Structure 1
Amino acid sequence: MTLAAGRVVSILAWVLAIAMLLSNVAAAQQVRIAFIPKNLGNPFFDAVYAGVQRAAGELGFSTVEIGPPTADPASQIPFIQQQVAQNVDAIILSANDAHAVVPALQAAMRRGVKVVTVDADAAPEGRQAYIQPVDFTKIGEEQVKLLAELLGGRGEIAILSATTTAPNQNFWIEGMKVELAKPEYSGMKLVKIAYGDDEPQKSFRETEALLAGYPNLRGIIAPTTVGIAAGAQALETNRAADRVQLTGLGLPNQMRQYVKNGTVTAFQLWDPSQMGYAAVYLVKAMVDGFEPKPGLSFAAGDLGERAFGENNVVIAGPLTTFTAENIDQFDF
């Protein structure tokens, strides 16, 4: 071997060694995130994890989904402890119990693990931030707006709720009443609030009673996944979809057949994947030194800027409206 050739081999070996070193450093620096849902095998949390994976792919992070088979109060604790022992950089968790997981999460944070909750929050002392799916204060308003679009702003309407005591339902119904009192909805009249108790058969019967009792009824809002599915079945059975528009909050997989056959034109719910997506971008900001505080904001990828409210609560996104054009894009 000539001296020149020997130098070339030495340089190549040096370059290869540097490349391997840089590769090892990059691997060591890769952010590792554990997603712990309430329980495995739940399509809703599969959708959340899809958002986690999408953001992780954009950022070059690695992720694992691990959790209990059932949503028992203390069932997530061993998985939290296991992931801390494996030196993950962050835990994204949907809490089965707001308080049971706090000691394990506090121990994780003392080890430097970033803790973000999604969908179901832990007590604030057990996490650094909480990603809420939507602004729940606007659901009543958004539901009325959607029905007004479907009806052209005119006609008698009814609400099919869950139980008379359901706090979220009653809060949203009050929001609907406030919205309906605005001048732009003067052509719409709320004639009845019915309660199906979140039971399919009772919700079905209550819908039929609305159809029979109010012959001029043109629209129904069912802000409950059980109610809207049962309401759609009642409209289909009674061949009333041509005169009554049904909307509300529903699951795409439950409502797909009714949208495809024209029984329901449009309904809404939050997109679970947005919570997972936003949570990973928040982890990135925190790993880079950002400290969540009310009034501050962070860049959440293609969701844009997301701001922190009281107790470091972040809104992932607006309600998603599902129609025949987009419903097949969702699987939950």
Structure 2
Amino acid sequence: MQRQLKKTYKFAFKTALYITIFLTLLMSVFLYKFYAVDWIQIVFIALTCYVSSFIIIQYRVEQFIYKRVKKIYDDLTLLESSSLRKNRITTDMATLTEEIDKYAKDRKLEIETLKVREEYRKEFLGNVSHELKTPLFTVQGYILTLLDGAIKDKAVRDKYLNNANKGVERLIYIVKDLDMITKLEIGDLRLNIETFDIVELVQSVFELFEMKASKKQISLTFDLDYKNPIYVKADKERIQQVLTNLIVNSIKYGRSQGTTEVSIENLIKNKVIVRVTDNGEGIAKQHIPRLFERFYRVDKSGSRKVGGSGLGLAIVKHIIEAHDEKIYVESELEVGSEFSFTLEKTE
């Protein structure tokens, strides 16, 4: 590390001046009393004393401060301060204070971020464990019951095997979703971009879940009659998955005799925004920032009743972001929710 001197020499200037004044006065009295000296000699002595004092003081002070500041840099380097390693050592107190303050703030932010990540990791592992062990224990219970003799009863055997099969299907569903979201997060899932009619795609999703919605007496509708197609540029299969997740969620958490409405609006010249709105349970404000986290559930107790892997919204978010688009959510408890996302429009 190279040495950088202070920008100001005020300390050395003033200290050398004080020493010079003191020594000049002392020596002038002494020389005047014992030797015949003129004022030119006194000025020369004063200048010599001043220059010598300045150089010695400046050198010693810089050495003194530099050694201690270097130790601070070395200590901070042990804490992996890459930003400080790149800079020259400065003995200017203002600059040093600024650098140390910035270092402290960066480290504090890093520590807080690590704490948040650690909490998220613990919660995520707990959720994964819970989501997997529930169907595993269910399947294990049915199989053990059959092995204990229930397999001899044909009716019980068929029932338990069907239930065990449902548990295995749920495990497969969760693992597939986990595999997809992992690929999305690392950018390993390639998008097949094509041009298609988003109105037609929404209509096809409505048809898929028409029966599911009718069981809860929920109407699946557009906000208006779209007579002309609206063409967008995206991965049709993935956008269908996004619409499926959002519409299925609106049915799951919707009110009986409620409505799930889809609207498609022009946002800017080459963008449309697709809105999925319902008048269901709604979501409390404190949950909204975490809605798109993996396995995050608003209702910890009742959410299992409606099924799902707990990964749907996380997958939705990653698919939309993989298209370099945005997803938004607005919700009010006991009023309803609106999920919306943008897509690139084509002529």
- State the TM-score, normalized to the length of structure 2: 0.24
- State the TM-score, normalized to the length of structure 1: 0.24
Which structure carries more helix by proportion?
2
Q: Which has the higher contact order (CA 8 A, sep 6+)?
A: 1
